[in-house]
Chain A
Amino acid sequence: MELAKPFPPGDYDVVVIGSGPGGLQTSYFLHRLKVDHAVLSADDGPGGMFRRFPLFERLISWTHSSADVSRQSREYESHDQNSLVADEPELRALVPQEISEGHRRPAREEMEAGLRAFTERAEVAVRYGCRWESTTQQDDRLVLVTEDGEYRCRAAVFAIGMTDPWVPPIPGLELSHHYVHVENAPDRYRDRRVVIVGKRNSAFEVGEGIVRQGVRELTLVSPRPPDLGRLARSPLRPWYLTPYDEHVRGAPGRYVLNASVERVERGASGYLVHANDPTRPEPLVLEADDVIAATGFEARLQDLPALGLATVLDGRLPALSPFFESLTLPGVFFAGNVTQAAQGLRKHGVASVSSMVCGFRYNARILARHLAETVFGTPIERPLVEPDRVVAYLLSELDRAPELAMQKGYLARVLTVDSAGIRDEGILPLEAFVDGEGDGVAVTLEFDVDEEIRPVLYVRRRAVLRETVLPPHPLRKYDALAYREALDELLRPLS
């Protein structure tokens, strides 16, 4: 007998849309905080984008099978960028259990299996096969219209991923296949000439995959040079860069070009791609049997922009507050990959890793606490920290906190000071502390301008905020005398 679907249409405090890692992680934390919510998904099972992508290659994020800490510990999260996180040890580190021997990055199927295992063991309930179709506002409620009926809620969390194809308005580019429609069949690109428009991860991933399939000629073309000089802050990862390596070494038929594509047209056999490199006198004409548009993705925001949702990047992402709420539509929140739109301070141009599981799994905990407290008035635990334990606690967080290690310059451990003493506010967006009020301290790990990783302290006393960038440590061990002395000195005004 088929079980009844959970979450029938009706009234809920929160509705979460999506059953990818962002939706699952958000539902898990909302459940921990006892926030009544429904989870709806158009898919027929958990996994989100990992049900389809990446197309050819393993993921770019690491999971180390061997580590000096227990897999069930919080510290192990820094060794495993792919699992969802949980308070219960038995729900942690589920992706490494799926990875086949000898690999340090999961295949798509292994990632999907890890997410399925989390859904089952954490008992995350989802109403599958229930597509969100449109949205209205009624009094202080949002109404999400689905194929099963209407869901009314005080806050909605859209964990919708960023997997819809986005194609720039280049004449003829509609003749190409977008990344999402590329077939991974063994001989599809054998002995063919392929032009890929784009030079980000998806472009290199397809390039890497079809080089293995025996492509004859491969050209990647887009205006912006690949960002390889600053590897720590570049989204590109070396595992996909065979086409680039072969290009710079002059392998026949491997080209990575910095030029803007002006138009694509059908030629005598296949296609002609017309490109313009502003540093060269004449235009380039590339002949191709196949053209692939790896030009990026957008979130499927449906009718939210028509309701007043402000967007960035040509409408591809919503404009978000530091707590992942729309800047213009109150009660509309986002989780998962789309939280990359909440950019934080971006010091020295360093972006968050909120586009990856290892970043947004922590954003989900922050979002759930924020929703519980601000929308529903649920008290959040803020334990007192003994004054003589503060320095040791902050140093141990710099040493071990996976949130600080993953989300550098974006998430911070925050303590505040009030009449009762020093309180642990938890992990918060650094921007929220820096732009907040009241006495307190935040610690982060950050890349400096030369990509060195440094601990940074932000101390606010009597409305004056002071930033102190501490020296790097070659083994990234901050529980050392020099740091203890520095923190003692910097925190003295707060005690």
Chain B
Amino acid sequence: MADVAVVDRLAQLTLFADLRWPELEAVAHTFDEDVFGAGQRVLRQGISGGAFYVILEGEASVVIDGQERSRLGRGDFFGEISALTGEVPIADIRAETLLRCLTLPGPQLETFLLERPTVMLRMLQAEARRLRDSNRWN
């Protein structure tokens, strides 16, 4: 059973911007919630079986081979690449503050997206932006 507050917070995230109330409630019931302390790792480079995460509050860093590469905040998501390709993560995600996330087991992400094409489109747009930005850096 999800709290109304969680559904309200979901409604404010870009990824779920196109969903209406009953669909948002269903999303809140599908995801679990997990909280990490500052310094705790959420995803681990090279370790299989990770989940998909959407940040509800707090800040996380993307760390590759011990080097911080970028920061993530509210509404950002991660873990989708491993969940969709079955490959191990290529980065650590480390909580920098108390970090509250929605989480979905990796094996369930594909079905979740197929049932919600608008969420899939929002995710694709975000991935396209990330690809564009990484091309700019190179």
Please report A residues at the B interface, Cβ cutoff 8 Å. 166, 168-169, 198, 222-224, 260, 276, 278, 295-296, 310-314, 319, 321, 327-328, 343, 345-350, 409, 434-435, 446, 448-449, 465-467, 469
Whether a CB of chain A sits under 8 angstroms from the CB of B1 is yes
- Chain A residues within an 8 Å CB radius of B49: 345-348, 350, 409, 446, 448-449
Q: Is the CB of A278 within 8 A of B3?
A: no
- A348 is contacted by which of B33, B34, B88, B105 (Cβ under 8 Å)? B105
- Specify the main secondary structure of chain B where it touches its partner: mixed
The A interface is mostly helix, strand or loop, or mixed, namely: loop
**Do A168 and B3 contact each other (CB < 8 Å), given the known contacts A347-B50, A348-B49, A469-B48?**
yes
Which residues of A are found within 8 Å of B47, using beta-carbon distances?
345, 347, 434, 465, 467
Q: With A295-B1, A466-B46 given, is the CB distance from A349 to B106 under 8 Å?
A: yes
A327–B46 CB distance below 8 A: no
How many residues of B are in contact with the other chain, CB < 8 A? 35
Q: A328-B98, A345-B44, A349-B107 are in contact. List 12 more A-B contacts (CB 8 A).
A: A168-B2, A168-B3, A223-B29, A224-B29, A260-B25, A314-B3, A314-B6, A321-B40, A328-B37, A343-B34, A347-B47, A349-B51
User: A residues within 8 A CB of B107?
Assistant: 348-349, 449
Within 8 A of A (CB), among B26-42: 26, 29-30, 33-37, 40-41
Q: Please name 27 pairs of A and B residues whose Cβ atoms are closer than 8 Å in the assembled complex, sorted by A.
A: A166-B1, A168-B3, A169-B3, A222-B29, A224-B30, A278-B22, A295-B1, A314-B3, A314-B6, A319-B35, A321-B37, A327-B35, A327-B37, A327-B40, A327-B98, A346-B49, A347-B47, A347-B48, A348-B105, A348-B106, A349-B51, A434-B44, A435-B41, A435-B44, A449-B106, A465-B46, A469-B48
Q: Which residues of A contact B114 (CB under 8 A)?
A: none
In the complex, the chain A residue whose C-beta lies closest to that of B52 is A349
Bound CA span A466–B40, Å: 19
Binary A-proximity of B97-111 (CB < 8 A = 1, otherwise 0): 010100111111000
Per the 8 Å Cβ criterion, residues 85-104 of B in contact with A are 88, 98, 100, 103-104
Task: Indicate if the CB atoms of A313 and B105 lie closer than 8 Å.
Answer: no
Q: Does B131 contact A (CB under 8 A)?
A: no
**A467:B48 contact, CB within 8 angstroms:** yes
* In the complex, chain B residues whose CB is within 8 Å of the CB of A328: 37, 98
